[in-house]
Amino acid sequence: MGQFFRLHWRGELGLFRTLVVALCVVFVPTTLILFGAFLLSQAFHPESKPVDMIFRLGSAALLPAMFWWAVGTYRKSMNLLTESRTAAAFLTFLMAGFGIWMLWGTAREVILYNWKSPSAYARFLSECEQRTSKWISKPWTVTAMPELNRIVVSGSIGEGSAKALERAILDNPHLKLLQLDSSGGLVHEEELMIEIVRKQGLDTLVQGRCVSACTGIFLAGERRFITPDARFGFHRAGYCGLPRGAPWGISDYMTSIYYRERGVEEGFMQEAMKTEYHDLWRPSALEVKLGKFATHWWSERPEEYSRAAFMK
């Protein structure tokens, strides 16, 4: 095994072993370490010492392993050039560049963030894993419920969610209330659904939870109903791996304009938009109502949204 590491470092391994086997040697063990930390974060609090220690171990192993792979791959590309294997050398050089880019991004996160605040970094990665697991375990569902005079959507927003909602609306044009229960998801799907809700003039309702991208869809409603136990979560747009302290992107500017256009109080908008992607602002239902993010309590609903009225 020691000879394998030395040969790769000198760029003397075969092309397949350089680009595939050596890459697996780098990422498979560290992925298992980080996955183990995720499992521990489910058994313990994300800030617990076992989670911190395993993330430190994974970070300490990943950086030198990536450096070893990037240097060996670069040297392999130089050796291929001396053999006049230009195409293979170019491919290998690109892979080495990819490794150096990944090394820089990982080093920045680990050195500037993880070692400064390992428990916060563990919590951040745990949240990313949890979001991913939610997308897998709770897929998007759209259900027309004529007996309640509404369409109910739930689950995480993924590819095709907007089309599923549009189909349900077109099949049930008499249903004008959209009930939401979602942990969020993809921004481009959220934007499509905002357009659908506004075009169809739907009202929106949250009785359970509405987090992240779900909040934009809720805000598109003509009348926006909530119950006192509705749970909202706000943060800026982003992705797992986005550095903390990153400036506003175009999505954030567009969101702030959208909030003002829909009549949301300035203070509420500022609080929501100062919350970074890795965090979550959870205002109470009363704060959501006072901030004019919601327009009505569910107890103030019109008669057509009452089941009793429908049954008559």
Which stretches within the chain are classed as H helix?
2-9, 15-16, 22-43, 49-82, 86-109, 118-137, 161-171, 187-200, 213-219, 250-261, 266-273, 285-290, 307-311
Whole-angstrom distance, CA of residue 248 vs CA of residue 233: 19
| Residues 126 and 189 both lie in one domain | no
The 10s digit of each residue's pLDDT in 32-64 is 766 665 565 544 444 445 555 666 666 667 777
Same domain? 9 vs 105: yes
Q: Are strands 231-233 and 177-182 parallel, antiparallel or unpaired?
A: unpaired
**148 and 40 within one domain:** no
Do 144 and 106 reside in the same domain of the chain? no
Residue where a domain stops, chosen among 117, 134, 151:
134
pTM > 0.75: yes or no = no
Give the distance from CA 39 to its chain's centroid: 19
| Contact indicator for 55, 125 with CB cutoff of 8 Å | yes
Residue after which a domain boundary falls, among 84, 108, 134: 134
In which domain, by residue range, is 169 found?
Answer: 138-311
Same-domain status, 272 and 217: yes
Residue 4 predicted with pLDDT over 80: yes
Q: What is the mean pLDDT of residues 281-291?
A: 95
Contact between 297 and 226 (Cβ < 8 Å): yes
Task: Give the 3-state secondary structure of 92-110.
Answer: HHHHHHHHHHHHHHHHHHH
| Residue that wins the pLDDT comparison between 153 and 80 | 153
* pLDDT attached to residue 102: 66
Name, in order, each residue with C-beta under 8 angstroms of 147's C-beta and a sequence gap of 6 or more. 307, 310
How many domains, the chain?
2
Residues 284 and 153 occupy one common structural domain: yes
Judgement on whether residues 201 and 249 belong to the same structural domain of the protein = yes
The sign of the CA dihedral 287, 288, 292, 295 is: negative
pLDDT in tens, 89-119: 887 888 777 777 766 665 555 554 444 444 4
